[in-house]
Chains A and B, each alone.
Chain A
Amino acid sequence: MTVAVKGLTKRFRDQLALDRVDLDVRPGEFLALLGPSGSGKTTLLRILGGLDFPDAGTVSFGGEDVAGRPARERRVGFVFQNYALFRHMRVADNIAFGLTVRPRRDRPSPAAIRARVDELLALVQLPGLGRRFPAQLSGGQRQRVALARALAVDPTVLLLDEPFGALDAKVRNDLRRWLRGVHETMGLTSIFVTHDQDEALDLADRVAVMSAGRIEQVDTPDAVYNRPATAFVADFIGNATRFDCRLSGGGVEIAGVRLANAAPTAADGRGVAFVRPHEFHLAAAGEPGLAATVRRVAHTAALASVECALADGRVIDVAAPLDVAATTGAQVTLVPTTVRAYPA
């Protein structure tokens, strides 16, 4: 189902949480709302779920305006950050909740509800755990129960708030793959909130990057990563280091080195440039570029991580080939090889 918002504005006391946000989510799409805390991503998700209401703007599901419709009439599945499982109910009763609160004429028979619960327990790979209480489950299991509970009401839209936030790294990776699989099997339109760029880029069809109540860019992970539309996105994604620079004639001048601008900006004048850890080349001291001192070298990943202190005191990690000739204490020059720059 298409999910569309237009001109969405929401104010909490004197703070603008959402500032005229427009967003179109395509049917069957898996969309990530990515941003730092306070960027408005959770507020947007809650408005889509009918848990908060906008001050202005429209929300439509499948072309139908739902802005004034409360949560219980929206048929959305909402998975909460802390799962919000009902602690006094067994897992099976938690999953069945959405079916058992229906008015009598729409409510499936007890046998049908039981069958549906078993089916969902199998889907979330927790068969036979229906008699447990939430407190008797691990974090990953609780997350899957929360998902099963949300799916029980056959939602057309699935909303997930930081779905992997409370889990450890290993469980998180397994669950990501699995969630993607569930999304595809059920033919859902899913929107999830995260502050973790790896998660968003790894999992989503498209990523909406948010900052200060606005959407900065909505694009495929590839485009968001390689062609950040704004300085904010370039700063937020890919662990970049920020430099002041001069823009002129489609080129960037940074620390005496002139490069083509990898970002689509035509403006001239003062600008800000962003360089990622693997976009530096380590050269001998004295060459044109940024003078730096090597503080530490770690060979613990596919690329070596070289911790360098710049002349202005900033410390940055440079990703270099494993055979990099750098030793602790050495004076080197960091030469940017790719740079994205935007008008300041």
Chain B
Amino acid sequence: MTTEEPRWLRWTLIGVALAFLLLSLALPLAAVFAGAFAKGLAAYRSAIAERDAVAAMRLTLTVAAIAVPLNLVFGLAASWAITKFDFPGKSLLISLIDLPLSVSPVVSGLIYVLLFGLQGWAGPWLRDHDLKIVFAVPGIVLATVFVTFPFVARELIPLMLEQGRSDEEAARSLGASGWQTFRRVTLPNIRWGLLYGVLLCNARAMGEFGAVSVVSGHIRGLTNTLPLHIEILYNEYNYVAAFAVASLLAGLALVTLVAKSVLEWRFGDELAGAGH
């Protein structure tokens, strides 16, 4: 593609964009890894093998493993309902799905403290029944589910709206049941968009700080996720360990990013309907 713009302008724009990316993305990322390996490989290895770090890693993976499938199911159900049916309150539902994106994560976390904390609405009842939600794993899962809940639905709704209802109607008139229609027609049509939404959801679930910070209680080895553990290490001036654990989180993000790029490349193909 060529345009009317002079060559120098093009190169200046590209240069500015690249410089910005380098400064704000590549350099910090490099700094994380440099900091992590500042005292050598052995220090790095012992930092990430430390008991609390492993516990934080395990908790982060556990929370993501619960929150992502929940939001996968919820996102699918919501997009299906919104795009394939007409019902009263539909636009309200769409706004509700967007709510977690517009509310500060700290507020999202506070909601759960207000609901389930000792001074909260359900607090006394929970205490009487010896149930712990806030400052425990269930609270962290709830906060994460809340914060990551728009990602799958946001990805699917425009895609399913664009594809319309006629494929499903065709399947039904050919005798397919609801489940057959979903499995053989709807799911293949949205599979790449769905996977893409799940990846975004997963990245946010692992990286969420604000909401989780409010409900977690920061109990080392018990309720600290990776981002919270990094903050604690950093506040204790334990820079090598902080950067080492941060490099783990960055590594997870990089894997997600690569998976997302691969999908985008595949996904464009699918949308154009080029087949195989």
B174, A87: Cβ atoms closer than 8 Å: no
Given A101-B180, A101-B184, A135-B274 in contact, is the A50-B173 Cβ separation under 8 Å?
Answer: yes
B166, A80: Cβ atoms closer than 8 Å: yes
CB neighbours (8 Å) of A49 from chain B are: 173
Indicate whether A122 reaches chain B with its CB closer than 8 angstroms: no
| Closest Cβ neighbor of B166 among chain A residues | A84
| Closest Cβ neighbor of A80 among chain B residues | B166
Please report which residues of chain A, range 257-279, place their CB below 8 angstroms from some CB of chain B when the two chains form the complex: none
CB neighbours (8 Å) of A51 from chain B are: 169, 172-173
B273, A71: Cβ atoms closer than 8 Å: no
CB neighbours (8 Å) of B172 from chain A are: 50-51, 70-72
Given A70-B172, A80-B169 in contact, is the A136-B177 Cβ separation under 8 Å?
Answer: no
Bound complex: CA A102 to CA B274 (Å): 29
CB neighbours (8 Å) of A80 from chain B are: 166, 169-170
Extra inter-chain contacts (6) besides given A72-B176, A135-B274, A153-B174, CB under 8 Å: A51-B169, A51-B172, A81-B166, A88-B189, A88-B275, A101-B184
Cβ distance A313 to chain B, nearest Cβ, rounded Å: 42
Indicate whether B167 reaches chain A with its CB closer than 8 angstroms: yes
CB neighbours (8 Å) of B185 from chain A are: 86
Q: A153 touches which one: B167, B175, B177, B273 (CB < 8 A)? A: B175
CB neighbours (8 Å) of B118 from chain A are: none
| Overall SS of chain A's interface | loop
B173, A87: Cβ atoms closer than 8 Å: no
CB neighbours (8 Å) of B273 from chain A are: 87, 133-135
Indicate whether B188 reaches chain A with its CB closer than 8 angstroms: yes
Please report which residues of chain A, range 33-78, place their CB below 8 angstroms from some CB of chain B when the two chains form the complex: 49-51, 70-72, 74, 76-78
Listed A/B pairs (17) with beta-carbon separation below 8 Å: A50-B172, A72-B172, A72-B174, A72-B177, A77-B173, A80-B169, A81-B166, A86-B188, A87-B273, A97-B174, A98-B175, A101-B174, A101-B175, A101-B176, A133-B275, A135-B274, A149-B170
A86, B173: Cβ atoms closer than 8 Å: no
Cβ distance B182 to chain A, nearest Cβ, rounded Å: 12
Given A82-B166, A86-B167, A101-B184 in contact, is the A72-B173 Cβ separation under 8 Å?
Answer: yes
Please report which residues of chain B, range 142-167, place their CB below 8 angstroms from some CB of chain A when the two chains form the complex: 164, 166-167
A51, A72, A81: most-surrounded residue (chain B CB, <10 A): A72
Bound complex: CA A72 to CA B274 (Å): 30
Interface residues as binary, A216-257 with B (CB distance below 8 Å gives 1, 0 otherwise): 000000000000000000000000000000000000000000
Given A72-B176, A135-B273 in contact, is the A88-B188 Cβ separation under 8 Å?
Answer: yes
Bound complex: CA A86 to CA B274 (Å): 13
CB neighbours (8 Å) of B166 from chain A are: 80-82, 84
Bound complex: CA A88 to CA B272 (Å): 11
Bound complex: CA A88 to CA B275 (Å): 7
Give the interface residue-count category, chain B.
20 to 34
Interface residues as binary, A180-224 with B (CB distance below 8 Å gives 1, 0 otherwise): 000000000000000000000000000000000000000000000
Bound complex: CA A81 to CA B164 (Å): 12
Interface size on A, residues (CB 8 A): 31
A149, B174: Cβ atoms closer than 8 Å: yes
B173, B176, B273, B275: most-surrounded residue (chain A CB, <10 A): B173
How many A-B pairs with Cβ below 8 Å? 77
Bound complex: CA A77 to CA B164 (Å): 20
Cβ distance A22 to chain B, nearest Cβ, rounded Å: 24
Bound complex: CA A136 to CA B273 (Å): 9
Bound complex: CA A150 to CA B170 (Å): 9
Cβ distance A116 to chain B, nearest Cβ, rounded Å: 14
Bound complex: CA A97 to CA B184 (Å): 9
B164, B172, B272, B273: most-surrounded residue (chain A CB, <10 A): B172
Given A133-B275, A135-B274, A136-B275 in contact, is the A78-B177 Cβ separation under 8 Å?
Answer: no
Interface residues as binary, B165-205 with A (CB distance below 8 Å gives 1, 0 otherwise): 01101111111110010001100110000000000000000
Bound complex: CA A70 to CA B181 (Å): 14
Bound complex: CA A249 to CA B234 (Å): 102
Please report which residues of chain A, range 130-152, place their CB below 8 angstroms from some CB of chain B when the two chains form the complex: 133-136, 149-150, 152
CB neighbours (8 Å) of A134 from chain B are: 273
Bound complex: CA A202 to CA B247 (Å): 73
CB neighbours (8 Å) of A85 from chain B are: 170
Cβ distance B84 to chain A, nearest Cβ, rounded Å: 12
Bound complex: CA A85 to CA B275 (Å): 13
CB neighbours (8 Å) of B171 from chain A are: 86, 97, 101
In the A-B complex, the 9 residue pairs with the closest CB atoms: A133-B275, A98-B174, A84-B166, A135-B273, A84-B170, A101-B176, A78-B173, A71-B173, A88-B188
B173, A76: Cβ atoms closer than 8 Å: yes
| Closest Cβ neighbor of B167 among chain A residues | A84
| Closest Cβ neighbor of A87 among chain B residues | B273
Bound complex: CA A150 to CA B167 (Å): 13
Cβ distance A128 to chain B, nearest Cβ, rounded Å: 17
Given A87-B273, A135-B273, A136-B275 in contact, is the A78-B169 Cβ separation under 8 Å?
Answer: yes
A97, B176: Cβ atoms closer than 8 Å: yes
| Closest Cβ neighbor of A90 among chain B residues | B275
CB neighbours (8 Å) of B270 from chain A are: 88
Cβ distance A268 to chain B, nearest Cβ, rounded Å: 49
CB neighbours (8 Å) of B167 from chain A are: 84, 86
A84, B169: Cβ atoms closer than 8 Å: yes
